[in-house]
Amino acid sequence: MCRAPSAGARALSKTRDTMDTPTPTAKVPFGKQLRSFGPTFWVANWMELIERFAYYGVRVTLPVLLVMAIGAGGPELTHTQKGTIYAIWALVQSFVPIFSGGFADRYGFKKNIAISILLSVAGYLIMGFSMAISDAITGVPLAVGRPAGDDVVFGVFFLGAMLLAFGTAVFKPGIQGLVAHAIPKSSAATGWSLFYQAVNIGGFIGPMIGGVLRLLDFELVFILAAVAISLNFIPLIFIKEPGHERDKTLNPMTIMWRSLTGLIEPRLFFFIIAFAGFWLMFYQLFDILPNFIDDWVDSTGAANFLQSIFGSGIPTTHGGNLIQEWMLNVNSMLISLFAFAMGYLTGKVTSLTAIVIGITISAVGILVLGTSMSGWVTIGAIAIFSVGEMAASPTKMRYLASICPPGSEGRYMGYVNATVGIGWSIGSVIAGELYQTGGDKIQLARKYLVEHVGQGATAIQDMARDAVLPHFQQTVGTDATGVRELLWETYKPYSMWLTFALIGAGSLLMLVIYTRIVRQAAKRQDHLFNTHGYLFVRIALGLVVGVLTTLAIVRPDPAVIAQAGLFGMMLVASLVAKVNTLVAGADG
């Protein structure tokens, strides 16, 4: 028996799906759109650029730094540990904005941004000096403490990462709320594309400098980031808090509850889940690709080409290979140059059409990464992915901004990050495990020495990380290039990119189905999605919680436990909301 649509369902049905209508941007001349943006828009974009400069200057160096051998000056964490840090980092950075966005609406965007700067500075400094802090706590150097089990570097770095994650999380809804207020609706697509371009300009300059500093002393990368983000206090002084609707009677618990229950709105929830596959793919460019490039890619040709143009100052490593930070910067460079032009083009189609096209192109780019060890092929794959990213990523902001109720800009911009967090967090766990067992060159060299050379497993496992490859070369009788080619052909470390591409294809399929359903639901008030949408959300949450809980029991991992807890909270919220609806109906 069909029941009458709930008030929430009626609201969703009445809200014509603006993603199904191309943005008015396509009808407004480009020059007029640029003139429509006021000072607050441009200052907020500058602050975003600085924040991204600091963030990506650190973020792109971390994958290589975290697994660097102790003998080479690194903490020598495993890829699984790295994945755990990133997975929880993802949840904090992406889901806290859902709550801090509500606080931004209640207490003001400027306060949110000021708090975020303080948290980020502390995070950068603790991360940068995590090994020194660990040595001070244990009283012994890491090289001595690690074998004896007297090692807290993981915990210290984790603390710094969480502070940075909180700082970034608090910053996002504040700055995006300012931008949302400053963008005229007639210029939405171009405005958000310009904002996204500012993100990528900062994301381009940061790794360029960070990669060079890493070769000198990695602590300099973190110091620069802390100093840079501190400079955002200056423009913050001159920005005027925009006037917007605020309910000052709301207390913090009410804000958090509204933010949590907002996540389970059917249209928003299923969009978040479907789009998560794109972000699972996306973050492999920053979580695993740096290690993949460092281990497997021969980029001497690209380095030689740049040196022929710019001279010998081009930073290289491992016998003339271009540093991975500069290779990844192809992504930011292309988006910095073409993001707003792509935004103008995507403004001519519906939001979800642009997203579907973007995911398709990005999946192709991910697939190409696994076809060759050539640096040029890797750069080409990054370029292909970037085109897809330009179509898909900024469009999600346009979609959510279009359904945002007045006075809730910060909270809804926080919802933008939920789909990022789900994909990034789950992807970090998957990628960490895949690369630790089937991608890390040193781990595969150990495996080869045991399986094909017949050396003792214990002796090989106990060998210092930075001693494995020299021992391998001497034992097998080959050079660094021979090691790479032999292990590439024997263990096929490139196969993981097919896994990520298939996940992207699955996300694409879900979005196509999602688009079809919401379009039909917008036309018919009695559509099943309108009448039973919240039931479908509870069923989906129950399945996800069940799977994650089982995984956490079978193989305990802090990240999986955190993921299960998050989805469990959402399930409880959906059940409580249902009970409240039933009680209210009975009272009526």
- Kindly tell me if the per-residue pLDDT of 16 is higher than 60: no
Residue type, 505: A
- Which run of H or of E encompasses 322? strand 321-322
- The pLDDT assigned to 563 comes to 92
Q: What is the DSSP letter of 26?
A: G
How many residues belong to the chain?
A: 588
Determine what percent of the chain is predicted with pLDDT higher than 90.
49
Cα separations in angstroms, 353 against 335, 512, 522:
20, 9, 17
What is the spatial distance between Cα 269 and Cα 384, in angstroms, rounded to a whole number?
Answer: 29
305-326 per-position pLDDT tens digit? 999 999 888 999 988 999 999 9
- Which run of H or of E encompasses 321? strand 321-322
219-237 per-position pLDDT tens digit? 999 999 999 999 998 888 8
- The pLDDT assigned to 178 comes to 79
- The pLDDT assigned to 212 comes to 92
352-389 per-position pLDDT tens digit? 788 888 889 999 999 999 899 999 999 999 999 999 98
| Helix (H/G/I), strand (E/B), else coil: 302 | helix
pLDDT category of residue 29 using cuts at 50, 70 and 90: low
Per the CB < 8 A criterion, the answer to whether 86 and 162 are in contact is: no
Q: What is the DSSP string of 239-274?
A: PPPPP----TT--HHHHHHHHHHHTT-HHHHHHHHH
What is the spatial distance between Cα 303 and Cα 292, in angstroms, rounded to a whole number?
Answer: 17
Short-list 194, 176, 179, CA closest to 412: 176
Structure tokens at 334: 């292309």
- The pLDDT assigned to 245 comes to 56
Does CATH place domain 36-240+251-438+492-523 in 1.25.40.10?
no
- Kindly tell me if the per-residue pLDDT of 172 is higher than 90: no
What is the spatial distance between Cα 547 and Cα 39, in angstroms, rounded to a whole number?
Answer: 49
Averaged over 467-484, what is the pLDDT? Answer: 93
What is the spatial distance between Cα 351 and Cα 353, in angstroms, rounded to a whole number?
Answer: 5
What is the spatial distance between Cα 35 and Cα 324, in angstroms, rounded to a whole number?
Answer: 38
Short-list 209, 208, 192, 234, CA closest to 47: 234
536-545 per-position pLDDT tens digit? 999 999 999 9
Averaged over 241-248, what is the pLDDT? Answer: 61
Least confident of 77-91, 92-106, 282-296, 300-314: 92-106
- Kindly tell me if the per-residue pLDDT of 8 is higher than 50: no
Determine what percent of the chain is predicted with pLDDT higher than 70.
85
Average pLDDT, the chain: 84
What is the spatial distance between Cα 343 and Cα 61, in angstroms, rounded to a whole number?
Answer: 29
Structure tokens at 90: 């993802």
- Kindly tell me if the per-residue pLDDT of 344 is higher than 90: no
- Kindly tell me if the per-residue pLDDT of 98 is higher than 90: no
Averaged over 82-108, what is the pLDDT? Answer: 79
Averaged over 17-22, what is the pLDDT? Answer: 45
**Phi, psi (deg, nearest 5) at residue 321:** -80, 140
- The pLDDT assigned to 488 comes to 96
- The pLDDT assigned to 10 comes to 30
What is the spatial distance between Cα 428 and Cα 426, in angstroms, rounded to a whole number?
Answer: 5
- Kindly tell me if the per-residue pLDDT of 106 is higher than 70: no
318 CA to centre of own chain = 28
Query: For the chain, which residues make up each domain, given as ranges?
Result: 36-240+251-438+492-523, 525-588
pLDDT category of residue 401 using cuts at 50, 70 and 90: low
- Kindly tell me if the per-residue pLDDT of 19 is higher than 70: no
Structure tokens at 434: 């895949």
Q: Is 480 exposed, middle or buried (0-12, 13-18, 19+ CB in 10 A)?
A: middle
Cα separations in angstroms, 94 against 52, 53, 481, 485, 532:
15, 19, 40, 39, 28
Residue type, 203: G
Short-list 23, 12, 21, CA closest to 344: 23
Degrees (nearest 5) of the Cα angle 59, 55, 48? 150
36-90 per-position pLDDT tens digit? 677 778 888 888 999 999 999 999 999 999 999 998 889 999 999 999 999 999 9
- Which run of H or of E encompasses 170? helix 153-182
- The pLDDT assigned to 107 comes to 64
- Kindly tell me if the per-residue pLDDT of 349 is higher than 70: yes
- The pLDDT assigned to 404 comes to 57
pLDDT category of residue 100 using cuts at 50, 70 and 90: low
What is the spatial distance between Cα 25 and Cα 191, in angstroms, rounded to a whole number?
Answer: 9
Three-class SS of 402-447: HCCCCCCHHHHHHHHHHHHHHHHHHHHHHHHHHHHHHCCHHHHHHH
What is the spatial distance between Cα 255 and Cα 99, in angstroms, rounded to a whole number?
Answer: 7
Q: Is the dihedral of CA 327, 329, 333, 334 positive or negative?
A: positive
Residue type, 500: F
- The pLDDT assigned to 243 comes to 64
